[in-house]
Amino acid sequence: MIRFFASHPTAANVLMIAIIILGLTALPKLQRDTFPVIRGWDPQSFPWGHSGRG
């Protein structure tokens, strides 16, 4: 495979462009949540509180 792309540099560029286009088309479908939503979980319900002190 490396030999093929070394002898056909245009094919390597076409493959690179195809991968970039596929990645750009997948961008809108990516999940953007930083923190997951946990339903029914209240951090203040722990006996030691939510501040992490004492």
More confident residue, 44 or 6: 6
The confidence score (pLDDT) of residue 50 equals 54
pLDDT tens readout for residues 9-50: 899 999 999 999 999 999 988 877 677 777 776 666 666 655
**Per-residue b/e over 15-45, b at no fewer than 16 CB within 10 Å?**
eeeeeeeeeeeeeeeeeeeeeeeeeeeeeee
Q: Whole-structure pTM over 0.85, yes or no?
A: no
Element (H, E) at 49: none
